Amino acid sequence: EATLDLAERRRIRSAIRELQRQELERDEETLASKRFRPERTSHRQDDKENWPQSRCLEEEQQAALAALSEQLEAITSVEELTKLLRAAGEYEERKLIRAAIRKLRAEEIEGEAQFPCSEVDTLESLR
């Protein structure tokens, strides 16, 4: 329904604003209660029990990443690295591969900067 009375429109808008303010306050209270909720002690105990297992997994991942890093050093093709990037599943693997791609591209740019070859130079050498 549309209303032509401006006073009624103001009352409706102020009522809507009041409802929005109340909703924000409720959301903030909910967030504050969740933020400072104490942890359950049984959950902390579970973490302690799983800690050696998670540490072992972390060490395995670090070893796998070190091996991947060595493998990436041997690759000299951006296309090959891009294929590896698309096939990689883990975030850390993709991170290493992207770093290797950036390094290769920087080396290519640096190599081009060291040996600039302009068309004028090539034309002069042909004469």
Amino acid at 43: H
Distance CA 27, CA 29 (A): 5
Per-residue pLDDT tens digits for 76-124: 888 999 998 898 888 888 998 999 999 999 988 888 777 665 554 555 5
Per-residue pLDDT tens digits for 39-69: 555 555 555 666 667 777 788 888 888 888 8
With beta carbons less than 8 A apart as the criterion, state whether 97 and 84 touch.
yes
With beta carbons less than 8 A apart as the criterion, state whether 65 and 96 touch.
yes
- Does the global pTM surpass 0.75? no
